[in-house]
């Protein structure tokens, strides 16, 4: 299937909404707004719990739609992207989660009305897809502190604090964090093996934003065909506070002691084995092979967005 160059070129659009997402209280309203914006919606699916998502997406993909609009948080959208990758079906995004970092990367507006308009009037571009032991991610995969943050991001905390919940959860997670050993191997031979005896966090970025607006690095992009890898070592609290102040623009990777590399394939081994956070969802564990699929997903972005181009 050849991707459409504009969202309005679609002949058949399916809508999949995660009813458990923070801002998905009115899924019927979202569908109504999409229809009014001019999208030819032919089927609507409300996912009540995470276990329903794989089967729902499988049926939707088999339906042969030109576009699948997914409403939910980053974890829901990333999983959907993994199902759509390589099919030629275009992905549309309704940012209904807490952080909506993918929408921020792609310059998709957060308001429901504006997001629906951007979908109807938008253009189709290519973005890369990251894989961690085969599991898909669009923003960032990480091990260490971020897993503790995810574990402390209760639905209640996200509901009352929104994106600010990430900061509260980070403070709580930091107080309980235990350092770990990590080894970064590069099967393609573009870097030598790194042995890291005391680590706070290792992250592998495909996109630019994660964690409620933080940047992976100053140069990270979701269509640059490379993974940005960083490792923050154990250090006194004052140094971690300095690093935290630089998370928004990604310039923390330039501080002494912070490791930052780019690659297409990296293998992470830790002692002990640790869970891996993929766009806010715990999906696999170390050892983990991280790879990138170039131009794997066709996605709708606003006409004025410069986040990516269609070059696949």
Is residue 307 in a domain?
A: no
Q: Which two tokens stand for residue 309?
A: 């181009």
Question: Does 110 map to a domain?
Answer: yes
Q: Say whether both 198 and 230 belong to one domain.
A: yes
At 1, the pLDDT band (50, 70, 90 cuts) reads very low
Q: Residue 22: its pLDDT value, please? A: 53
Please compute the mean of the pLDDT values over residues 157-164 and round it to a whole number: 65
Q: CA-to-CA distance for 106 and 257, rounded, in angstroms?
A: 31
166 and 127: one domain? no
Kindly report the CATH number assigned to the domain that includes residue 174: 2.60.200.40
For the ranges 23-27, 198-202, 263-267, the lowest mean pLDDT is seen at 23-27
The whole domain housing 31 covers 7-133+295-301
Q: Please give the residue that has the higher pLDDT: either 131 or 120.
A: 131
Are 283 and 145 found together in one domain? yes
Q: How far is CA 69 from the centre of its chain?
A: 16
In total, how many domains does the chain have? Answer: 2
For residues 98 and 73, membership in a common domain is answered with yes
Backbone angles phi, psi at 262, to 5 degrees: -120, 145
Nearest to 113 by CA among 9, 45, 32: 32
Q: How many residues does the chain have?
A: 312
Is pLDDT of 170 > 80? no
**Two tokens at 181?**
């050993």
Instruction: Indicate the helix (H) or strand (E) that contains 104.
Output: helix 101-106
pLDDT band at residue 37 under the 50/70/90 scheme: confident
Q: What is the DSSP string of 115-139?
A: HHHHHHH-EEEEEEEEEETTEEESS
Strands 214-215 and 209-210: antiparallel
pLDDT at position 25 over 60: no
User: Is 107 marked active-site?
Assistant: no
Residue 310 lies in a domain: no
What SS3 state is found at 63?
A: coil
Residue 269 sits in the same domain as residue 204? yes
Q: What is residue 152's predicted lDDT score, i.e. its pLDDT?
A: 67
Alpha-carbon distance of 241 to 209, in angstroms, equals 20
Catalytic residue, candidates 32, 254, 281, 293? 281
What pTM does this model have? 0.89
């Amino acid at each position: 299937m050849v991707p459409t160059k504009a969202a309005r070129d679609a002949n058949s659009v399916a809508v999949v909404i995660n009813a458990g997402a923070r801002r998905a209280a009115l899924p019927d309203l979202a569908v109504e707004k999409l229809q009014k914006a001019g999208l030819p919606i032919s089927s609507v699916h409300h996912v009540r719990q995470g276990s329903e998502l794989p089967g729902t997406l499988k049926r939707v993909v088999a339906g042969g739609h030109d576009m699948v609009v997914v409403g939910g948080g980053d974890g829901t959208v990333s999983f959907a992207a993994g199902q759509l990758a390589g099919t030629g079906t275009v992905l549309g995004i309704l940012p209904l989660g807490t952080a909506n970092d993918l929408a921020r990367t792609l310059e998709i507006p957060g308001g429901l009305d504006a997001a629906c308009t951007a979908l109807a009037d938008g253009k189709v571009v290519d973005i890369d897809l990251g894989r961690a032991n085969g599991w898909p991610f669009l923003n960032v995969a990480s091990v260490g502190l971020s897993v503790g943050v995810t574990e402390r991001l209760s639905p209640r905390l996200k509901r009352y604090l929104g994106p600010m919940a990430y900061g509260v959860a980070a403070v709580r997670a930091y107080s309980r964090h235990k350092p770990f050993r990590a080894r970064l191997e590069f099967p393609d031979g573009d870097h030598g093996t790194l042995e890291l005896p005391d680590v706070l966090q290792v992250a592998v970025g495909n996109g630019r934003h994660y964690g409620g607006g933080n940047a992976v690095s100053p140069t990270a992009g979701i269509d640059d065909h490379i993974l940005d890898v960083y490792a923050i070592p154990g250090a006194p609290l004052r140094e971690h506070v300095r690093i935290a102040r630089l998370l928004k623009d990604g310039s923390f990777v330039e501080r002494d002691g912070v490791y930052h590399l780019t690659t297409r394939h990296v293998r992470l081994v830790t002692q002990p084995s640790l869970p891996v956070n993929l766009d806010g969802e715990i999906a696999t564990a170390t050892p983990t092979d991280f790879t990138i699929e170039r131009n794997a997903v066709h996605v709708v972005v606003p006409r004025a967005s410069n986040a990516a181009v269609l070059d696949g």
